[in-house]
């Protein structure tokens, strides 16, 4: 396929949600600021459209945030839209390489040379031309991640206000990181504003006056995060084929628009034993990505948890064919399956791999919700992490978390207070932290309570939405 033959831009329809309901869960001291922001939004954005542009409608944290933030913005009276750009396999191979390099990893080992630039620019030019046909002077365009950076200059030329949002990064950049910066910087530097998730991710060579820090957030009312009682958790996991139980009442759940639904799709399980209601469970939910280190989680569990605690490990991620902008996912999962098959039978029986259905995004979300609530301990042992929304999701559910001490995770978890942080390369420390939370139930419960309180103050969509409104208001005024 040549770039000119790409499918049309994909408009993601997400409806609208009343942002006022965020007032029910926001910390009391933050309610008035949110109320004022929502009241001023319709007049401030009158006659303008806010465009969110990324590279996939499902799979990964960016798509999940947009699935809630866009409806809340629409509910606040802002004409907000979400468009997904198109690409060919060569383009997504280049952008995955950039993604890996931004995390300090070689990825496929390819170069970011003139050939990569030609592929990137060709696809970008087609998407930019199609976007320019829609965007009016005075509109605001919010571009997400490396796949969209090349759109900055063409859309600035359309007299729109353009913001580029980087959701990935590392605390200590190496040469691969700087190579990716150099590839993207000419485009990114032209943006009216550049947003990073945490201060340590900010690149060299950017205008500090244009740099802003906005941490990601979760939606407490979304299917992935709203409250589920024990029977609902059991019913969802049974219907999804993840746990054998005798749950009453089937697998009913509530969609984001409030409609009732029944879960009908099942996870594909790789396992030699079944999880039951009595199975103590450690869970990691993430894309099948080497940087999420599912191999290290498995090794750390086998070597440093199995000898001490009678728990099971579940590694869960999306069905690989449905995540269009991640060409490595299927390969990583197959390697992980082979690693599982190579283990001794006793270890194999205590490790479960779950690929979660993506036929219905809200079904997928409520399965993750149930899995995190079912877990005694949630882990996120990434080797690099832009922010780690699964950490905030688990914390909101009052789960004790063991996570890597890097990136935006350090902004979320106060070590020893609202979770435990470990060096991602220190497998004995990882195993000791997980084992401690199984042995010390009081500490696990206390950390879970503190975790939920921290998310309420710092990482709900109410704060995120208000920060975006304030930034865009300043850009309009300027």
Walk me through the domains of the chain, giving residue ranges and CATH numbers.
Answer: 3-217+460-477 (3.40.50.2000), 230-458 (3.40.50.2000)
Question: C-alpha distances in angstroms, 201 versus 66, 84, 138, 168, 335?
Answer: 21, 25, 29, 8, 30
- The pLDDT of residue 159: 77
- The pLDDT of residue 249: 64
Residue 123, H or E segment: helix 114-132
Contact call for residues 280 and 352 (beta carbons, < 8 A):
no
Distance CA 385, CA 299 (A): 20
**What does each of the 478 residues of the chain score in pLDDT, given as a tens digit?**
455 689 999 999 988 999 999 888 888 888 898 899 899 999 999 999 999 999 998 877 888 889 889 999 999 999 999 999 999 999 999 999 999 999 999 988 999 999 999 999 999 999 999 999 999 999 999 999 999 999 999 999 777 899 999 998 988 899 999 999 999 999 999 999 999 999 999 999 999 999 999 998 999 999 999 999 999 999 999 999 999 998 876 788 999 888 999 999 999 999 999 999 999 999 999 999 999 999 999 999 999 999 999 999 999 999 977 555 567 889 999 999 999 999 999 999 999 999 999 999 899 999 999 999 999 999 999 998 878 889 999 999 999 999 999 988 999 999 999 999 999 999 999 999 999 999 999 999 999 999 999 999 889 988 888 899 999 999 998 7
- The pLDDT of residue 177: 96
Backbone φ and ψ for 261, nearest 5 degrees, come out as: -145, 165
From edge to edge, which strands make up the β-sheet containing 193-196?
10-11, 79-84, 49-54, 140-144, 161-166, 193-196, 211-213
Question: C-alpha distances in angstroms, 40 versus 50, 77, 438, 466?
Answer: 16, 10, 48, 11
Angle subtended by helix axes 31-44 and 461-477, to nearest 10: 40
Backbone φ and ψ for 165, nearest 5 degrees, come out as: -115, 120
Radius of gyration from C-alpha coordinates of the chain: 22
Q: Please, what sign has the CA dihedral across residues 39, 44, 46, 50?
A: negative
Residues 6 or more apart from 443 whose CB is under 8 A from it? 400, 436, 437
Q: Is 118 helix (H, G, I), strand (E, B) or coil?
A: helix
Distance CA 459, CA 162 (A): 25
Distance CA 165, CA 182 (A): 17
């Amino acid at each position: 396929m040549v770039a000119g033959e790409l499918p049309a831009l994909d408009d993601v329809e997400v409806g609208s949600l009343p942002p006022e309901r965020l007032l029910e869960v926001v910390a009391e001291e933050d309610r008035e600021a949110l109320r004022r922001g929502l009241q001023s939004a319709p007049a401030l954005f009158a006659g303008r459209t806010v465009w969110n542009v990324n590279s996939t409608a499902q799979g990964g944290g960016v798509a999940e945030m947009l699935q809630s933030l866009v409806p809340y913005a629409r509910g606040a009276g802002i004409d907000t839209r979400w468009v997904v750009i198109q690409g060919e396999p060569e383009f997504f191979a280049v952008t995955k390489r950039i993604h890996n390099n931004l995390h300090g990893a070689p990825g496929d080992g390819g170069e970011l040379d003139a050939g990569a630039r030609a592929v990137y620019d060709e696809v970008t030019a087609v998407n930019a031309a199609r976007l320019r046909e829609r965007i009016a002077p005075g509109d605001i365009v919010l571009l997400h991640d490396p796949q969209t950076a090349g759109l900055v200059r063409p859309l600035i030329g359309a007299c729109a206000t353009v913001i580029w949002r980087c959701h990935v990064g590392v605390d200590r950049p190496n040469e691969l990181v700087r190579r990716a910066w150099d590839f993207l910087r000419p485009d990114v530097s032209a943006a009216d504003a550049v947003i990073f998730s945490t201060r340590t991710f900010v690149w060299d060579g950017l205008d500090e006056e244009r740099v802003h820090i906005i941490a990601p957030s979760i939606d407490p009312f979304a299917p992935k995060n709203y409250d589920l009682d024990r029977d609902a958790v059991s019913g969802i996991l049974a219907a999804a084929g993840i746990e054998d139980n005798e749950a009453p009442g089937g697998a009913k759940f509530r969609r984001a628009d409030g409609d009732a639904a029944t879960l009908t799709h099942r996870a594909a399980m790789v396992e030699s034993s079944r999880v039951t209601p009595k199975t103590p469970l450690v869970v990691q939910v993430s894309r099948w990505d080497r940087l999420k280190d599912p191999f290290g989680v498995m090794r750390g569990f086998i070597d440093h948890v199995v000898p001490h605690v009678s728990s099971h490990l579940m590694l869960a991620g999306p069905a690989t064919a449905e995540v269009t902008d991640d060409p490595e996912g299927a390969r990583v999962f197959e390697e992980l399956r082979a690693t599982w098959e190579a283990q001794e039978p006793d270890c194999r029986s205590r490790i479960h791999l779950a690929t979660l259905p993506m036929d219905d995004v809200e079904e997928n979300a409520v399965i993750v919700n149930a899995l995190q609530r079912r877990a005694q301990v949630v882990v996120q042992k990434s080797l690099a992490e832009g922010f780690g929304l699964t950490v905030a999701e688990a914390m909101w559910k009052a789960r004790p978390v063991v996570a890597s001490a890097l990136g935006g995770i350090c902004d979320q978890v106060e070590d020893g207070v609202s979770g435990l942080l470990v060096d991602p390369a220190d497998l004995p420390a990882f195993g000791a932290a997980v084992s401690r939370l199984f042995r010390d139930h009081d500490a696990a419960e206390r950390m879970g309570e503190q975790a939920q309180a921290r998310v309420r103050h710092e990482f709900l969509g109410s704060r995120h939405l208000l920060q975006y409104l304030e930034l865009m208001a300043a850009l309009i005024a300027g």
